[in-house]
């Protein structure tokens, strides 16, 4: 299975690498390696992470306090990486990307 980082997840990845590289260049490289290792695990077992909201799942990086929020599209055989989130800073910021606003439910005639 292949994976694709959404634009926001890509920005979060770049920011995280830059953050760690400012502390120590080796930390930036270690973060990249940790994320690559996690994404490789997801390719082999896309349902590894537990569900968090709807069909969205999360996977903890092994060495860094980051979550990978993702969704598996079985039809296209693609793993959509929605967010790469630092758990110590705004850990729930990604939720606005995946939650349906109540207005959307009302427009469809569903109870919120």
CA 68 to CA 71: how far, in whole Å? 10
Return the closest-CA partner of residue 99 out of 66, 60, 69. 69
CA-based R_g, the chain, Å? 15
User: Could you give all domains of the chain from N- to C-terminal order, each with its CATH number?
Assistant: 2-107 (3.30.2310.20)
> What is the predicted pLDDT for the residue at 58?
94
Residue by residue, pLDDT tens for the chain (112 residues) are 999 999 999 999 999 999 999 999 999 999 999 999 999 999 999 999 999 888 899 999 999 999 999 999 999 999 999 999 998 876 677 777 776 544 544 554 544 4
Give the angle subtended at the CA of 31 by the CAs of 33 and 24, to the nearest 5°: 120
> What is the predicted pLDDT for the residue at 104?
46
Please give the DSSP secondary-structure letter assigned to residue 59. E
**Regarding beta strands 78-86 and 66-73, do their DSSP bridges make them parallel or antiparallel, or are they unpaired?**
antiparallel
> What is the predicted pLDDT for the residue at 60?
95
Token readout for 22 is 């400012």
Token readout for 100 is 């349906």
Taking the whole predicted model, whether its pTM rises above 0.85 is answered as no
> What is the predicted pLDDT for the residue at 110?
46
> What is the predicted pLDDT for the residue at 108?
47
């Amino acid at each position: 299975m292949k994976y694709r980082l959404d634009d926001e997840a890509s920005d979060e990845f770049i920011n995280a690498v830059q953050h760690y590289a400012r502390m120590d260049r080796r930390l930036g490289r270690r973060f990249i390696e940790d994320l690559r290792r996690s994404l490789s695990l997801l390719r082999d077992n896309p349902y590894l992470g537990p569900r968090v909201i709807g069909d969205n799942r999360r996977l903890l990086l092994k060495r860094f306090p980051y979550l990978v929020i993702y969704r598996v599209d079985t039809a296209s055989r693609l793993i959509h990486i929605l967010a790469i989130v630092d758990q110590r800073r705004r850990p729930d910021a990604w939720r606005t990307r995946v939650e349906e606003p109540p207005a959307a439910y009302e427009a469809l005639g569903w109870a919120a």
